[in-house]
Structure 1
Amino acid sequence: MRTTRTVPARPVLFTALAVTTAGSLLLTPQTAVADPEPPVHREAALDRHAARTPASAAQRALGSTEDASRAVGDDSRGYPRRQVLTPDPENPADKSIKLGLTPYHAIAPRLNALQALGDRVSVEIAGRSAGGHRLYLVTVTSPETTRQGRAQARMRELIENAPALAAKSPEVKKAYKAPVFVNNNIHGNEWEGTDASLKLIERLATAKDDKTRDLLAHSRLYFNITANPDGRIAGTRANANGFDMNRDFVTASQPEVRAMRQIMTTKQPAVMLDLHGYVNGTLIEPTTPPHGENYEYDLFLKNSYANALGMEAAVNGLGYTPAKDGVEPAQIPFRDQEEGWDDWPPIFTPQYAAFHGTVAAHTVEIPLQVNNRAYDTLPVTELRRRSAINVDVAGAALRATLDFVRSRRTSLVADQIEVFRRGAAGAAQVPVSPETVPGVPGTGPEDVYTTKFPRAYVLPPSGTATARLVDHLLANDVRVARASHAFQLGGKSYAKGSYVVDMHQPKRGLANALLADGRDISDKVSVMYDISGWSLGRLWGAAVETLPGLPYGVLRPVRAAAPVAYVAPRGDLRLRLADPSEIAALNSLLRKGVQARRAADGSAIVSGSARRQATEAARTYDVSFHATKITGTTPLHRTRVAAAVTPGELFALREMNFEVTPVSTGVLNAGFDWSSVDVLFVSAGLEYGDLTTGARTALDAFLDGHGLVGRGATGAAIGSATGLLAAKPVEGNADANGVVRVVNSADALMSGAPDHGFVYAPVWFTDLGPRVRVEQSYATGNPLVSGHWRPSQDGSGGPVDAAGQASVISGPRAVLFGTEPLFRDHPKGEFAQVGRALFTMALASGSGKESG
C-alpha cells in the first residue's frame, strides 16, 4: 500500500594508459573487479545493452543450472529455458509462514516443480536483493523455437525503434506476443500477490482449454515472483537497506529496482499489474488527478480504465461481502474519488512502466489487512482467513487482466506502438476528453495534464555529475548522443563532446520526466500523495539546458558516458568536493592516511607526493584531480559519523564513504562510546528530552569538543537543546515538497553548490544569534520551481513565508539544514553540502556555546 510519507552498482575503474603531449594523465576503461561493499557512483551504463547481448553457446543449453543464467532480456533463444534452482536453507522465522503463505525458501523448489510440469514455464534470475536474495523472473508462454524467439525480439525492437513501420507491419499484428508484466510483493509485508501468481502459473502450466492456449500463443507473461524477498522474510515494507522501493524508480538506488527497470526496458510490457495491500475495498487504478504530464495519457487512461472495470467485476464476482467476510466492493479512484491517489510522480512501479510503453498499468490494493498491528495481534486463524481471501482477490485481478489481454491484444500493441510513434515523431500529446477517451465517464478539464517537450536537451562534455546523469539516462533506455565537433545553435556555442538528448525519441516522456524542471501544481490539487517535484536536471549537479534544434551532422550515439577520471601529471592536486563521488574519493584517501587540506573555497588539496593514491581514487570513483598552486590551510582527517538519520540518508552517507555508526535515543540511553566517532549528524530518531541523565551528560560532553550537523526540526531541536546554535526553526507545511531555488554563500561550505535544492516538510531559520552565519537562503518571491507547497490551513507555512529566509545556517560547532539534501538518496547534487559540513564539524573543538 502507498503511504505519504544494497548492493550498489560497481564503480567504474580506469587504468593509466598514456601521457598526452600536453602532459595530462589519461585514464581508460578496464574491467571492474568485484568488491564486497562497493560504493555507489556512476550507474552501470550498459544495463540495457548488455542485457541484449546474445548469450554463449553453453549458456543457451536448456536444462542449465542457475550458475549459467543469462542476463534478463535475451529472448532471442526462444522458450522454454529450464534451469534447476538450488534451494535456500529453510528459515522458520520467515514471516510468511504465520499467514499460511509461501515462505521465501519454498519458492525455488516450487519453481523447479512448475518448470517440470510442461514446456510453458521458464525461470531466470533477474538479480539479487540488497540482502543477497535471488529475484526470480518467471516467463509463461507457448513454446518458441530459436527462430521464433528471434522473430519476437526483432518485432519488439521494431515497435520501439521504428514504430511507424511497426504500425503497418502485418507480422506484428498477426504474430507479436503481447508482453504482460506482473510485479509482486514490492512491499515486503504485502505478501499475497506472490502466492496468487504462483497459483496462476501452476494453472497456466497445464491448462488444456482453448482460452489458455490462445492466450499463451499470443502473449508472454512475465512474473516477478517477489520483488522484495528481504521484506517478505522479515515482514517489513522496506528492503534490507531500509528503502521503500515503490518510491525509488526515478533514482534506482536499489538493486531490486534496477532489476525491475531492466525487466521493463527489455520485455517492454504493454500491460502490467503491481500487487499490493491493503485497502478495503480492493483499490484498482487508474487514479485521481494530477496525472503525469509526460504520459500519452489518453492511451493510458483508455486501456487502464477498461481493464480496471474487468478486474472490478471479477473481484466483486467472488461473492465476498462486508457482513460475512469483511470485504467491501472494489473501487476505482478515477471514478470513485476526487483526489488523493494520483499518478503524478514516476516513483511508483506502474507510473514508471508507462514510460516504457505500458498502456494499461495498475496498482492493485487487495482488501484485508494482515500486516503491522494486525499481524501481531490477530489470531493465526483469522490472519490465514484474511490471507486466503487476499490471494483469491489478487487471483481474480490477475485472471481478469489476462482475459483483457487475450481479447484486446491487437489494440493494446497498436496503442503501445502509438506511444513510441508520437515520441519518435515529436507529435503533440492528445489531451484527455470525452471524445479522445470514449467509454471513460467523468473526464474533464481537471484530467488534462500535458506538457510542451523541448526539441532537445544538452549537457556539458565533462564532469562527474554529467557522466552520472548520462549513464542514468542510458540505463533508463533514454537515447543520448555526443557532439563530435563544437557547434552553434540559437546564438550560443557548445563545446565538442557535449551530450545531446534528442527529444524526438520513443521514450521522450521518460527523458522529459527526468530532465525537465517539472511544474508547480500547488493550485491544481489540495493534497498530494508523495513527492511532486524531482528534476534530475536541477538536483543532480549537472548543467542541463534546452536546445531549440539539433546541430547537423555532428551527433553520434553513445552507449556510456566518457570517462572523467584524470590526475594532473605534476604539482599538488585539487579535488573540488562538489559531488558525492569526490567526497567518497577524499574519504578513501583519508582512510589510507593520505594527508589533505581544505582550501578557502571548500576544495581539498592533496600533495603531489600522493599522486599514486590519487590515481587509484580517480580510477575507482571516476573523478578528476587537477593541478593547483593553492595551499590548503586546514588539515582534513578521517571522519567517523554517529548518525541518527533516515535509511535514505544513511545510504547516502555510506555512498560518500563516511564511516557511519547508526545511533538513536535508545542507543544513547543504553550507553554509547562517543570516542568511536568524530561528529554527530541528526535528522530523525533522537530526542534530547527522551535521553536519560547519563546519556545527556555524555552527549553534552561530546558536543563540547565536537560538532553537530542537523537536518529539519529534529536536528534543529538538538542544536537548540545543547546550546550549539541560537536560531528559531520555522516549520513549513508538513505536506510540502518539491524543487526550490536557493541562494548560496560564497564561503567554503556552499562554494559551488547548486542553485536549486529539494524540500520535504521544509524548514527555515529566524532569530539568528550573533555568531550564526547564513550559508544558504530560499530565493525571494516564490522559491518553489516544481512540486506542491501550499500554506497550512491557518495561512502560514507556505513558500512566500519561506522566501528570503535562511535554509542552511552554521556556527562554530553546528550546521543546520532546513532542506532535504540527502532525501531517499535522490538529490545527488546536494550531497556534497552535507559532506563538507561533516568535515567542517569534525574539526570543531573547544567550548563557546551560543547564548541568546
Structure 2
Amino acid sequence: MRTKRTARTATARPVLTTALALTSASALLLAAPGPAGADPAPVTRETAESPALDHRNAATSPETAARRALTDPGPGLSGGTERTHDARGYPREHTLAPDPVNPADKSLKLGLTPYHAIASRLNALQALGDRVSVEVAGRSAGGHRLYLVTVTAPESPAQTRAQHRMRDLIERVPATAAGDPRLKKAYKTPVFFNSNIHGNEWEGTDAALRLVEHLATAKDDRTRDLLAHSRLYFNVTANPDGRIAGTRANANGFDLNRDFVTASQPETRAMRQILRDKQPVVMLDLHGYVNGTLIEPTTPPHGENYEYDLFLKNTYANALGMEAAVNGLGYTAEEDGVQPAQIPFRDQDEGWDDWPPIFTPQYAAFHGAVAAHTVEIPLRVNNASYDTLPAAELRRRAAVNTDVAQAAMTATLDHVRRHREALVADQIEVFRRGAAGAPQVPVSPATVPGVPGIGPEDVYTTTFPRAYVLPPGGPATARLVGHLLANDIRVARVAHPAPGYPKGAYVVDMRQPKRGLAAALLADGRDISDKVSVMYDISGWSLGRLWGAPVRPVTGGALPHAALRPVRAAAPVAHVAPRGDLRLRLDDPREIAALNALLRRGVPVRRSADGAAAIVPGSARRQAAEAARTYDVSFERTTDRGTAPLRRVRVAAAVTPGELFALREMQFEVTPVSTAVLNAGFDWSGTDVLFVSAGLDRDALNEPARRALDAFLDGHGFVGRGAAGAQLNAGAGLLAVKAVQGNGDANGVVRVVNSGPLTRGAPAHGFVYAPLWFTDLGPGVRAEQAYAAGNPLLSGHWRPAADGTGGPADAAGRASVVSGPGAVLFGTEPLFRAHPKGEFPQVGRALLTTSRTQVEESG
C-alpha cells in the first residue's frame, strides 16, 4: 500500500556534526604497524566500553583501553567470528577467469551487461589504473561468483593496516574514537553500493560499472579528494542467478531482500560479511521499479532498535541530494514517462516502512550505516513489461533507469565527500550509545532539526534489557549462539555459576556497540497493529521466541563479569551415551535431520512412548555417533523401548521455496510437485506423504490426475498448510474440520498452547502470515495446538479485515494445528521463509507420522 502522505515541506536541512574532542588516546592504534607487507597481528572483536573493563581496573587509561580492545577480550565479552583483515594494500588486482557466454541471459534483451560479460569488464576496469580492485566475495546459490569491487586511492600495506585499526577503534572503543584527531583526519569513509539484489531489477549493475569506470579514470580534484578520503565498495550483482534468469529470487527461489534476519542464503551471508568487514557509514540498495524514483527515508513504522535520530538526519539529507540529481537529469513525464522523484518520509503517509531488518538498508543500519537507502528506479522493464514491450522500448527504459541509478550513486558520493567527518562522527555515536548503554534519542523537530514534518507517528524507541541469558541447552541454543556471533553480536558464557546465571549459560551483554541488532534478533518485538493500517511485509520475527532456544531478558542488576568468558563459537552439543538404548529428542530441525539420516541407513528406529523422541537401539551406537557429529545432536540413554517403528519418508511437496528449503534442511527426501506436474502424469509409487501449501489445486486437476491423487490419499499421509492445504483437505474429504481464513494482511509472532503429541515440547509461540484456524472438529480430529486466549498476537501486525472479521480475537482459543488419521493441517506458518527454526519439528513429526500404516501401528 502506498497512500500519499500529507505533503511535508521539502526544506533542505543543515547537516549536524558531532563534536570530536581532540585527544591522543588512540595514538598507539594509529602508529606505524611494523614492516610493510607483514601480516597483521590477530585482532579480537572485543570492546573495552563496558563494565567489564571497570571491573578489572577502574582507573584504566584510554591508551590501555585501546590496547585491550585490540588484544584482550576482557571478562564477559566476545566478538564472535573474526573480521577479514587483509592488509595487502590497494590496489589488489585479481584476473578473473571468463564465464561461458550464455545467450539466454535475460539482461541481453534490455541492452544491459549479461552476467557472463561482467568478469571481463572488471578485468578491463582493473587495468585502467591503480584505483580499482576486484575480489570474489562468495558464490550464489546457483554457483555464480559474487564480485566485490573496491575503488580508492592506492594504499601501502602499512596504510591499510592503519585503516583497519581505525575502523576497529570506531566500533570497539567508540568513546576513544570520538576524540581522536588523527582518525578524524585520516580515516577513509566506507561507502557501500549494493546492486541487483532482485535479479529482474537489473540496471543498478550497469550503473555501478559505469560509475566505477568514471572513478577509475577521472582526473578532477573532486574525484581525487573523494578517493583519498573514502573507500567505495560495489557489490556489482548481488543476485547473479536472478539476473541471468530474469527472476526476482535466486536459484533457491528466495527473495534475498527478505533474508537478512535469517541469512539462509549464501548471497545474504556474503552481504552480511561485507557489512561486517567494511562497516559502511552510507549504503545504497538499488532496486526497481517505482515511478517517480523512490528514495528512502521511509514512512512509519520505523525500526525501534536503531538510533533513528542519527539515521533520519543523515538519510533525509542524502535523499535530498539524490532527488535533486535524479530530477536534474531532465527526464519528464510528458516526453519520457518519468515522474519526479519522491521521498516517502516527506511525501507519503504510510506504505513504505523501515520496520523489519529483513531488508538490506534496515539491516545495514545495525552495522553502523547512518544513511542507508532503498532507491527504486522508475521505469518498469520486468515481469509483463519484459514479455510484451518491444525491445527498443525496453532498451530505452533500461537506459533511463541506468542514468537514474548512476545519478543517485553520484549524488551520494558528493554528499559523502562534503560531509564525511559528520557521517563518521555519527557512526561513532551509534556505537558509543550501545557500548555505554545510553538511552535512545527520540526524533523530534528539536533533536533532528531541518527535517520537516516529524510528528508523534515517527517516534519509535525501546528500552533495552541489561542482558539476554540463554540457559545451557541443546542444538537450538548452539544454533542461536552461532547465528548471533555470525551477526557480530558479542556473546559470553558463564564459567562459574552465579545467582540467575547457571554454569554454561550464554550471556549477551547489551552494553555493546551493536546492541540494536542484538535486540532486533532476540527481543519479542512489538504489536504495531494500532500504529499503521497495513504492513508491506512481516512485522514480527523474534529469534528469541521462534528458534527453539530459551531466551531470558535481564532487566536490572549487575552482570557477573568475573564469571563470564567470551566465546567465538557455541560449545558442541554432540553426545552419545556409552551404554543402553538411545533417545533422540525431536525438538529441533537438526534432530529431525539426524533421524532421517539414520532411517536412510536402515537403522531400526521407533517412536518414543510420549511421541516426542526417537528410540535408537544400542546396537546402532556407531551410526548414532556419526549422526551426532554430523548434526551436533545428543543421544541420551533410555529405558523406553518405543512404540511404532519410524520409517524413511519420501515427500511430494507443493510448497513455497522457503518450505522446500526447510524440508531439505531436515534431510527429507523431497520431490516438488504442482498442479501442472500432476496433470502431466505423476508417478506416486515413490511417495509416502504429500505436503501441500501452494501451487496444487485439486479442482484444477484433470480427471486422471484427480483419481490418482485421491487413490494416493486413501492410503498415505497428507500434511496441509494454509488455505491451499485446507482446500485440498476439504476437496478430498480427509479431516472433518472447518477452516476459517483470518485477515490476509496479518503476520507476526503469536502465542500458542500446545496440547497434542505432535507439538509436545514445541515452543509456546508460532508464526503466522495470513493466519488460519479450525472449528467444528469432527470425530477423530484432535487439536494439537491452539491460539492463546485473549489477544494471541505477541508482535507484528494483525487487525480485523474491513468487515470486522478475521482478527486476533476471532482466532483466540481456536485450533491452529489439527490432526487425524493420516492427515495434519497447519493454520500457522512453521516453515516460513526457512526462518522459525523452532517450529520446523512440528512439520517434521507430522511428515514422519501421518501415513495410515504408522498411525494404525501406533494405536
Find the partner of 1:256 among 258, 262, 267.
Answer: 267
CA distance in 1, matches of 2:502, 2:84: 36
Match of 2:534, as an amino acid?
V
Match of 1:779, as an amino acid?
A
Task: Name 1:170's counterpart in structure 2.
Answer: 181
Verify the 8 A CA contact 2:715 2:852 in the aligned structure 1: no
Find the partner of 2:633 among 601, 623, 628.
Answer: 623
User: What whole-Å deviation, never above 9, does each CA across 1:767-804 have from its counterpart, x for those lacking one?
Assistant: 11111100000000000000000000111100010000
Find the partner of 2:248 among 226, 232, 237.
Answer: 237
Describe how 1:38-49 pairs up with structure 2 within 5 A: none
How far off its partner does 1:546 sit?
A: 1.1
2:472 counterpart of 1:461: yes
Verify the 8 A CA contact 1:303 1:360 in the aligned structure 2: yes
Find the partner of 1:608 among 618, 624, 627.
Answer: 618
Q: TM-score normalized by structure 1? A: 0.90
CA RMSD of aligned residues (A): 1.5
2:530 counterpart of 1:520: no
Match of 1:544, as an amino acid?
V
Find the partner of 1:751 among 757, 760, 774.
Answer: 760
Find the partner of 1:511 among 507, 518, 543.
Answer: 518
CA distance in 1, matches of 2:352, 2:121: 36
CA distance in 1, matches of 2:191, 2:407: 16
CA distance in 2, matches of 1:805, 1:404: 54
CA distance in 2, matches of 1:142, 1:600: 68
Verify the 8 A CA contact 1:48 1:266 in the aligned structure 2: no
Describe how 1:789-800 pairs up with structure 2 within 5 A: 789-800=798-809
Verify the 8 A CA contact 1:704 1:846 in the aligned structure 2: no
Describe how 1:554-633 pairs up with structure 2 within 5 A: 554-602=563-611, 603-633=613-643
Q: SS of the counterpart of 2:783?
A: strand
Task: Name 1:334's counterpart in structure 2.
Answer: 345
Q: SS of the counterpart of 2:759?
A: coil
Task: Name 2:773's counterpart in structure 1.
Answer: 764
Task: Name 1:194's counterpart in structure 2.
Answer: 205
Task: Name 2:406's counterpart in structure 1.
Answer: 395
How far off its partner does 1:551 sit?
A: 1.3
Verify the 8 A CA contact 2:821 2:852 in the aligned structure 1: no
2:692 counterpart of 1:700: no
CA distance in 1, matches of 2:235, 2:89: 19
Find the partner of 2:319 among 281, 295, 308.
Answer: 308
Task: Name 1:651's counterpart in structure 2.
Answer: 661
Verify the 8 A CA contact 1:250 1:514 in the aligned structure 2: yes
How far off its partner does 1:844 sit?
A: 4.1
How far off its partner does 1:172 sit?
A: 1.0
Task: Name 1:737's counterpart in structure 2.
Answer: 747
How far off its partner does 1:48 sit?
A: 11
Match of 2:541, as an amino acid?
W
CA distance in 2, matches of 1:796, 1:741: 20
User: What whole-Å deviation, never above 9, does each CA across 1:68-90 have from its counterpart, x for those lacking one?
Assistant: xxx98334222110111000000
User: What whole-Å deviation, never above 9, does each CA across 1:28-65 have from its counterpart, x for those lacking one?
Assistant: xxxxxxxxxxxxxxxxxxx9989xxxxxxxxxxxxxxx
Match of 1:663, as an amino acid?
V
Instruction: Give the fraction of aligned pairs with identical amino acids, expressed as a percent.
Output: 79
How far off its partner does 1:842 sit?
A: 3.1
User: What whole-Å deviation, never above 9, does each CA across 1:353-386 have from its counterpart, x for those lacking one?
Assistant: 0000000000000000000000001000000000
Q: SS of the counterpart of 1:643?
A: strand
| Structure 1 segments unaligned to the other structure (5+ residues) | 4-46, 51-70, 848-852
For the structure 1 residues 846 and 692, does the alpha-carbon distance in structure 2 shift closer, same or farther, using more than 3 Å as the test?
farther
How far off its partner does 1:628 sit?
A: 0.3
Match of 1:628, as an amino acid?
T
CA distance in 2, matches of 1:105, 1:483: 51
Verify the 8 A CA contact 2:757 2:784 in the aligned structure 1: no
How far off its partner does 1:134 sit?
A: 0.3
User: What whole-Å deviation, never above 9, does each CA across 1:421-449 have from its counterpart, x for those lacking one?
Assistant: 00000000000000111110000111000
Q: SS of the counterpart of 1:501?
A: strand
Q: SS of the counterpart of 1:122?
A: strand
Find the partner of 1:535 among 542, 552, 565.
Answer: 542
2:414 counterpart of 1:407: no
How many pairs does the alignment contain? 779
How far off its partner does 1:463 sit?
A: 1.0
Q: SS of the counterpart of 2:739?
A: strand
How far off its partner does 1:305 sit?
A: 0.2
Task: Name 1:776's counterpart in structure 2.
Answer: 785
Task: Name 1:18's counterpart in structure 2.
Answer: none
CA distance in 2, matches of 1:757, 1:146: 51
Describe how 1:118-517 pairs up with structure 2 within 5 A: 118-488=129-499, 493-517=500-524
User: What whole-Å deviation, never above 9, does each CA across 1:657-679 have from its counterpart, x for those lacking one?
Assistant: 00000001110010001001100
2:111 counterpart of 1:100: yes
How far off its partner does 1:846 sit?
A: 9.5
Q: SS of the counterpart of 1:749?
A: helix
CA distance in 2, matches of 1:180, 1:242: 29
CA distance in 2, matches of 1:758, 1:844: 31
Verify the 8 A CA contact 2:830 2:839 in the aligned structure 1: yes
Describe how 1:678-689 pairs up with structure 2 within 5 A: 678-689=688-699
User: What whole-Å deviation, never above 9, does each CA across 1:730-772 have from its counterpart, x for those lacking one?
Assistant: 0000000000000001x42111011000000000001111111
Match of 1:797, as an amino acid?
G
User: What whole-Å deviation, never above 9, does each CA across 1:788-823 have from its counterpart, x for those lacking one?
Assistant: 000001111000100000000001111000000000
CA distance in 2, matches of 1:781, 1:739: 15
For the structure 1 residues 539 and 846, does the alpha-carbon distance in structure 2 shift closer, same or farther, using more than 3 Å as the test?
closer
CA distance in 1, matches of 2:177, 2:197: 33
How far off its partner does 1:553 sit?
A: 0.6
CA distance in 2, matches of 1:2, 1:708: 40
User: What whole-Å deviation, never above 9, does each CA across 1:606-628 have from its counterpart, x for those lacking one?
Assistant: 00000000000000000000000
Match of 2:337, as an amino acid?
G
Match of 1:838, as an amino acid?
L
CA distance in 2, matches of 1:407, 1:737: 42
| Structure 2 segments unaligned to the other structure (5+ residues) | 4-41, 46-81
CA distance in 1, matches of 2:83, 2:436: 30
Task: Name 2:97's counterpart in structure 1.
Answer: 86
Structure 1 range deviating more: 327-336 or 543-552? 543-552
How far off its partner does 1:527 sit?
A: 1.0
Verify the 8 A CA contact 2:114 2:244 in the aligned structure 1: yes
CA distance in 2, matches of 1:352, 1:397: 20
Q: SS of the counterpart of 1:83?
A: coil
For the structure 1 residues 72 and 480, does the alpha-carbon distance in structure 2 shift closer, same or farther, using more than 3 Å as the test?
closer
CA distance in 2, matches of 1:639, 1:78: 54
Task: Name 2:836's counterpart in structure 1.
Answer: 827
Task: Name 1:818's counterpart in structure 2.
Answer: 827
CA distance in 2, matches of 1:403, 1:75: 28
2:717 counterpart of 1:710: no
For the structure 1 residues 2 and 106, does the alpha-carbon distance in structure 2 shift closer, same or farther, using more than 3 Å as the test?
farther
Match of 2:810, as an amino acid?
D
Structure 1 range deviating more: 455-464 or 302-311? 455-464
Task: Name 1:38's counterpart in structure 2.
Answer: none
Verify the 8 A CA contact 1:705 1:846 in the aligned structure 2: no
CA distance in 2, matches of 1:843, 1:411: 67
Dislocated runs of 4+, deviation >6 Å: 47-50
CA distance in 2, matches of 1:552, 1:114: 51
CA distance in 1, matches of 2:727, 2:796: 27
Verify the 8 A CA contact 1:600 1:748 in the aligned structure 2: no
Verify the 8 A CA contact 2:646 2:854 in the aligned structure 1: no
Match of 2:357, as an amino acid?
P
